[in-house]
Structure 1
Amino acid sequence: MHLIISLLSGILFGLGLAVAQMTNPLKVQAFLDMAGDWDPSLAFVMGGAVMVTLLGFRFILKRQGPAWGDSFHFPKLTRIDRRLITGAALFGIGWGLTGYCPGPALSSMLTGNTEVWLFVPAMLVGGAVQRWQDRRRT
């Protein structure tokens, strides 16, 4: 049952990204280009997501646990440090240059957009390098 719920959640998330045009890198870059021909429409998408999250968390976190799981999973690290700032900056630079972030990139894999087939492997290699560096530090 857990796998079915995960699959349905992923499909719903991907459809939402597609309907909101978050999978269109030109639309995302137009949103990020505040000095040029700025397209503010994705701000409404993000605002809607924040509102749903705020309302949903208000009700869900009153429960003893999730409906399909053993416990809620919260971040263990809560401080802002150099690694967090560096990672956020790299993410933002990559998002601005390509118009893709991980969710929309994966959702775009079947759309026929060939450039996403270059982005996703590069993203996976970047994640693997980061995990390798983390193991070397410990």
Structure 2
Amino acid sequence: MKHSYAQLAVALVSGSVFGLGLSLSGMLNPQRVQGFLDVFGAWDPSLAFVLGGAVAVAALGVRIMRISSHPAFEPSYHISTKKRIDAPLILGSAIFGVGWGLGGLCPGPAVALLSMGLIKPTAFVISMVVGMQVHDRLLRAQTDTATAN
């Protein structure tokens, strides 16, 4: 898929703003995330405020999307048509949640932490990329098998 320089610039700026927001809110610190998940111990509610702010920004984005005909650098919005909650969605969500709880990292903060050269986030991102590649290959093999039958 070929992208224009404007699309790449928007992606870079958006990712940078996201990473800066994570840094300013303290969400690059795995202990803060684990503290939020420790509801029966030393609970840290700060993540709830960060999530609330994210929901507000996303709600604004959805409103803007609904009143505009198309995004700035694309002919149309790319919105999933899937409405069903199925086993792969539940399993993927569970794996994401367990990994986030155990490691204290999710993909956004982990990628942002790469700039610091720390071993744990680097290992996390490498593992994440390998996992995505394995998933894609298994899904492709499953699709090829289904198509051949």
- Shorter-chain TM range is over 0.9
CA deviation after TM superposition for structure 1 residue 112, in Å: 3.6
User: Partner letter of residue 57 of structure 1?
Assistant: V
CA deviation after TM superposition for structure 1 residue 111, in Å: 1.7
CA deviation after TM superposition for structure 1 residue 43, in Å: 0.3
Decide which of 74, 78, 84 is 2:83's aligned counterpart: 78
Residue 96 of structure 1 corresponds to which residue in structure 2?
101
Summarize deviations over 1:57-101 as a string: whole Å, max 9, x none: 113321110112121111132210111101100100000000111
In the alignment, structure 1 segments of 5+ residues that lack a partner are none
Residue 62 of structure 1 corresponds to which residue in structure 2?
67
Matched pairs, number: 138
Decide which of 36, 43, 47 is 2:48's aligned counterpart: 43
Alignment of 1:117-128 (within 5 A): 117-128=122-133
Residue 29 of structure 1 corresponds to which residue in structure 2?
34
Are 2:141 and 1:136 equivalent residues in the alignment?
Answer: yes
Rg larger for: 2
The separation in 2 between residues aligned to 1:100 and 1:70, in whole angstroms, is 34
Percent identical residues: 48
Normalising by the residue count of structure 2, what TM-score does the alignment of the two structures yield? Answer: 0.88
* Matched residue SS, 1:121: helix
Residue 120 of structure 2 corresponds to which residue in structure 1?
115
CA deviation after TM superposition for structure 1 residue 46, in Å: 0.3
User: Partner letter of residue 92 of structure 1?
Assistant: G
Residue 57 of structure 2 corresponds to which residue in structure 1?
52
User: Partner letter of residue 93 of structure 2?
Assistant: A
In the alignment, structure 2 segments of 5+ residues that lack a partner are 1-5, 144-149
Q: Which is bigger in relative contact order (C-alpha 8 A, separation at least 6)?
A: 1
Higher share of residues assigned helix? 2
Normalising by the residue count of structure 1, what TM-score does the alignment of the two structures yield? Answer: 0.94
User: Partner letter of residue 119 of structure 1?
Assistant: F
The separation in 2 between residues aligned to 1:76 and 1:56, in whole angstroms, is 18
